[in-house]
Structure 1
Amino acid sequence: MNTLLFVTDLYYEAKGRTYYAEDLFLTSRLRESFALTICHPKDIQAFEKKYDLIVLRNAGPVANFKDEYWSFRQRAAKNGYRTYNSFNGKADMNGKEYLLELTKAGYPVIPTVDHMERIDALPKVPSYMCKPKDGADSIGLERVSSNDLPSRLNVWEERSMLVQPFIDFEYEVSFYFIDHEFQYALYAPDKTKRWILSEYVPNLEDLQFANRFIEWNRLDFGIQRVDACRTKQGELLLVELEDLNPYLSLLELTPDIRERFVERLKHSLQKTIQA
């Protein structure tokens, strides 16, 4: 039986989500097919050499264990460790600067800049959303009025923050993929209750939107979540592409969708080990 090192922080508290419950469910199912050990991200170096595959899951923001994370990535590249997700993604696993790249390339993303010299490239709106480049789970997110924006940017470390126009969207929707294959979608019908989710049935245009970012990322192996918002004009815009350890809302799914996802994940993990 192949071995998995399942890296997570069961005590990380996330607003509106029970990370530990999802991970306990998922590990209970993966143990049907793998010999599995749970490990905190700060302890990974003590275990990493002993396993066929190292799976990074709900460990919370990388900022909480930044040194350990980047040291592990260096060792993984040097020693050829198999990791899941693979570390060749271009999105959140490297911070949020990719939003600048996607903006410049004309992708359907919330327009993003990182310094005052490019503020004129953004739509003129009463307020803006500012977030750290290495942030996650809305940590450090701040809504700033257009009048206060120059002074706030001067306070922050140069180019450490991303700036986006505040968008009064209709709802947020997330598309979940394993190895470039769409699995399911969820959305928050009430935008004031971001983590009260319902199943979303995407149409062809929605899937084309999500697939465009999956194709751009070219991740070898792993789970990706494409987060988007629906504007008042009906357009979908990318909020973020989570390609490191996306929360899956597994316990919010119907039993049949959840079961299909788990079996597909098992297959993907085996394929990664054998690659």
Structure 2
Amino acid sequence: MPAARPRLLYVTDLAYQARGRRYCDEDIHLASRLRAHFDLALCHPLDAAALMDGFDAVVVRNSGPVLGYQRAYDDFRARALAAGTRVYNPLTGKADMAGKQYLLELTAAGFPVIPTVDRVADLDRLPAAERYVVKPKLGADSLGLRIVPGSRLAELSAGDVLIQPCVDFAYEVSFFFVDDDFQYALYAPDPRRRWELQPYRATAADLEFARRFIDWNDLGHGIQRVDACRAPDGGLLLVELEDLNPYLSLDALPEEARDAFVTAFTASLSRFVQVAPARGQGRGVQPDERGPGESGDEAGRVAQRA
């Protein structure tokens, strides 16, 4: 049973250098607020597997791209699933937590996502374009992302990359959820400056769009970020669904909205530590190869991310 004050192991890499963002500031702020409700210890992701047995739950936050410590993450994940350790977000995520295969699945299912294939032979399933975004199925922080003219697509190796048409979008917008509840939205008015964010007033149609992906992922608990772009026809298209450790951009929020998020996050964690751990549960998905909401800076006005 959880202690009177639940014990949380908060996994973060305070030294991680992100382009245009200071991840450490966000986790220092969140940890300082959570300590009013939990007994909390911070640890580096390389230490999480060794330390987690002494806590009621493990909270994975801005822990850096998994590519930087893949073997340690695989060990942490396997041990947590075998022991039934409570991990927040739960390790059953079907989106970026499991790699980028979901973009193919959502495309095939007719969801409003940037159309995606993984074979040159399937290009006829995509809208015609002069340039295409090509990125690894398992990638992080735009590593390996290329903008390729259509005439050069035949040179690609089959099966290990995703192919998408370049989208001349108006702006990018992110919708943030705690459990199934919408919290706030932020957008980048200038497509060339992805991380210069401002509060965004989401419409009912916007939220209907975002909730389709939250419902599809069926995570139950945790923080999720739905990243989208405003396409030329005025509609939204999914760029990615970050369900492992999304960066929250709390510094872009007014104080009242930031406090409301912390309140919702605290309440979610309080509920989560009461959930009975279930040994060995999990779908056996592949470990995430990305990082905490890493998207990188694409050339021009391309919305897709590595």
Q: TM-score, normalised by structure 2?
A: 0.87
Secondary structure at the aligned position of 2:26 is classed as helix
Q: Tell me the CA shift for residue 2 of structure 1.
A: 1.1
Amino acid across the alignment from 1:201: R
Q: What is the deviation of 1:112?
A: 0.5
Q: Does 1:77 align with 2:81?
A: yes
Unaligned 5+ segments in structure 1 are none
For residues 175 and 246 of structure 1, the distance between their equivalents in structure 2, rounded to whole angstroms, comes to 11
Q: 2:29 aligns with which of 25, 40, 48?
A: 25
Shift of residue 159, structure 1, vs aligned partner: 1.6
For residues 121 and 272 of structure 1, what CA distance do their matches in structure 2 show?
Answer: 42
Is it true that 1:44 corresponds to 2:35 in the alignment?
Answer: no
Output one character per residue of 1:115-156: Cα deviation in whole Å (capped at 9) or x when no partner.
1121221111011111122223323221111112221x13xx
Aligned to 1:169: 169
CA RMSD of aligned residues (A): 1.0
- In structure 2, the residue corresponding to 1:263 is in which secondary structure? helix
| Residue 233 of structure 1, CA deviation | 1.2
Q: 1 or 2 for the larger relative contact order (CA 8 Å, sep ≥6)?
A: 2
- C-alpha separation between the residues in 2 aligned to 1:12 and 1:132? 22
The Cα of 1:239 is off from its aligned counterpart by 0.2
Alignment of 1:62 with 2:39, yes or no, is no
Deviation at 1:42, TM superposition (A): 1.2
Deviations 1:73-115 (A, max 9, x none): 2111110100100111110001011000000000000000111
Identify the residue that residue 141 of structure 1 maps to in structure 2.
Answer: 145
| Cα distance in 2, alignment partners of residues 133 and 64 from structure 1 | 16
| Partner of residue 101 from structure 2, selected from 97, 103, 107 | 97
Structure 1 stretches of 4+ with a deviation exceeding 6 A read none
Describe the SS at the equivalent of 1:184. strand
Instruction: For 2:75 and 2:154, locate their aligned partners in 1 and report how far apart those are by CA, in whole Å.
Output: 35
Q: How does 1:124-163 map to 2 (within 5 A)?
A: 124-151=128-155, 153-154=156-157, 158-163=158-163
Q: Which runs of 5+ in 2 are unaligned?
A: 276-306
Task: Determine whether 1:121 maps to 2:121.
Answer: no
Residue identity in the other structure for 1:253: L
Paired AA for residue 175 in structure 1: F
Deviation of the 1:220 alpha carbon: 2.0
Q: Any conservation in 2 of the 1:86–1:222 contact (CA below 8 Å)?
A: yes
Q: Which amino acid aligns with 2:108?
A: K
Match of 1:8 in 2: 12
Task: Quote how far apart the aligned CAs of 1:181 are.
Answer: 0.5
Identity across the alignment (%): 54
Q: Following superposition of structure 1 onto structure 2, how do residues 170-185 of structure 1 map, counting pairs within 5 Å?
A: 170-185=170-185
- Give the deviation of 1:188 after TM superposition: 0.3
Match of 1:221 in 2: 221
Say whether the 8 Å CA contact 1:8–1:58 is kept in structure 2. Answer: yes
* CA distance in 2: counterparts of 1:159 and 1:48, whole angstroms: 36
Higher alpha-carbon deviation: 138-147 or 197-206:
138-147
